Amino acid sequence: MKSNFIKEIINKDLKLGKNRSRVHTRFPPEPNGYLHIGHAKSICLNFGLADDYNGGKCNLRFDDTNPATEDKEYVDSIIEDVKWLGFDWGDRLYYASDYFDQFYMHAIKLINLGKAYVDDQSAETIRKSRGTLTEPGKISKYRSRSIDENLKLFEQMKKGKFKTGSKVLRAKIDMEHPNINMRDPVIYRIIHKEHHRTGSKWCIYPMYDWAHGLEDSIEKITHSLCTLEFENHRPLYDWFLQQLGIFHPQQIEFARLNLNYTIMSKRKLKKLVEKKYVRGWDDPRMPTISGLRRRGYTPQSIIQFSEKIGVAKRDGIIDCAFLEHCLREDLNKTAYRVMGVLNPLKVTILNYPKNKTEYLLAENNPEDSSFGNRKIMFSRELYIEKTDFLENAPSKYFRLSLGKEVRLKHAYYITCVDYKKDKNGIVSELFCNYDPKTKGGWSDDGRKIKGTLHWVSAKDCINAEVRLYNNLFDIENPDSEGENFINHINQNSLIILKNSKLENCLSKPDSNINYQFMRIGYFCVDKDSNSDKLVYNRTVTLKDSWLKKNIK
């Protein structure tokens, strides 16, 4: 890690012999949505720390304490995401719902200690009575209930005798505490809804602050890593464990990951999905791990990104260009080089025989010879990019224009001698001559050609739909707009090209392979592809704006 104050804390603990001289972490997602890139940072941190210490362990644990928002679909997606990133929890897969009976018995103990009571006030009344940072809270009239009365009422709550929201169990701490979280927090509420694992067995469910420390204690977690919003909850975490006299892990907070042009709130991401602003949780414009995977991100690039940004004590915003930089670094080594023409312009080579075809040799990755070579067809009719031709080109234009010579990658030099336009006055076809002595794209006579174009053979290419993805939002910090973040969706976040022409080798796409379309960017096959239609997603462009800004 670039900076990891957490390891400094752990190393100090181990020297002092704390927590039995071991390291045991956990990744504890709530299954109420799909994981995003911020969760990926936490996954890499928790599992990475366990790997860094001999005998270290990391649990995967689902905090499934709210049946109103959770679903097995989210559980399955989270398991898939963590596996895809390459992390293994062994036999340490747990659920908060595994411990509901223990949570309940601990609550009984707290009541018997005179440290918890049943409150009949509504959630709104309780919220208002907690006070402010400058004013103390207001004591509930139900706070003086006897231990026996609280035990009886709590048991009736468990048996379903009361309506949803009609009663809660609160910890009895201090309504004048400077930390508002310590002002008699709610630890159980009534929710008459089936749970995805326990069914209808329970109708009372623990609040996160109650469950969090108990889960960690039950699993003998040594270091409980949380994002900074839980820093003010740490005194409550400690208080519960101290009152119960059970194993006490150490909670450590770190800064969450924020990216510009991105939303990280699961609630807001869910709104994007439900209101159909995107095409599901795995839409390639989403910052979800499944969306990044579909777009063509690699596990290695996300892990490298997480390691390079390090672990901070204060929140900040990371430039999404840096995430793309890490992706390019990985894809540059692992992607196959091919040619694809996104906006095709037909080229006819007048002096090339009409019925002739030949196969030229092309390298699959110049960074690594083990990728081997492939053969590509060359014929009289080709396609190049429309943007690679200008009618009235300036003097320093090194692509194709009338009378100008360029190199076709892996093929020959060609010179444009004429062109034609369609009925709308748009150039629709170029007529060129080629130099047969420049096979392979090189000349022995010392001619210097500055322009090199990619191309495909019209006789051998395949048709495909290509989807170009850009930032989902058009402002750097859409979260700052509150619920108006929807108004800042980038209208050009998805551009669909339906008539792209690709090399024939892409006709049988492999979802495990990333491709570099030369001169354009990195691409991968999309799951929408079928036998009738090939769909490729642009993962990232070749232009590295972060590198340009940060490397002088």
Pick the catalytic residue from 130, 220, 256, 308.
Answer: 256
Pick the catalytic residue from 7, 18, 22, 30.
Answer: 30
Please name the residue that has the structure tokens 């022409």. 501
For residues 292 and 37, the answer to whether their CB atoms sit within 8 Å is yes
Residues in Cβ contact with 474 at an 8 Å cutoff, skipping those fewer than 6 apart: 261, 488, 489, 490, 491
- CA 459 vs CA 278, 353, 383, 506: distances in Å: 37, 14, 10, 15
Pick the catalytic residue from 183, 266, 328, 380.
Answer: 266
C-alpha torsion angle, residues 369, 372, 375, 381 (rounded to 10): -50
Does the annotation mark 476 as catalytic? no
Dist. CA 311–CA 314, nearest whole Å: 9
Q: What residue type is assigned to position 20 of the chain?
A: R
Q: Which two tokens stand for residue 463?
A: 């048709």
Exposure string of 460-492, with b = 16+ CB inside 10 Å and e = fewer, is: bbbebbbbbbbbbbeebebbeeeeebeebbeee
Kind and range of the H or E run holding 251: strand 250-254
Q: Which two tokens stand for residue 113?
A: 């200690």
Residues in Cβ contact with 448 at an 8 Å cutoff, skipping those fewer than 6 apart: none
For residues 227 and 212, the answer to whether their CB atoms sit within 8 Å is no
Does the annotation mark 183 as catalytic? no
Dist. CA 314–CA 322, nearest whole Å: 19
Pairing of strands 521-525, 535-541: antiparallel
Does the annotation mark 231 as catalytic? no
- Catalytic amino acids? 30, 256, 266
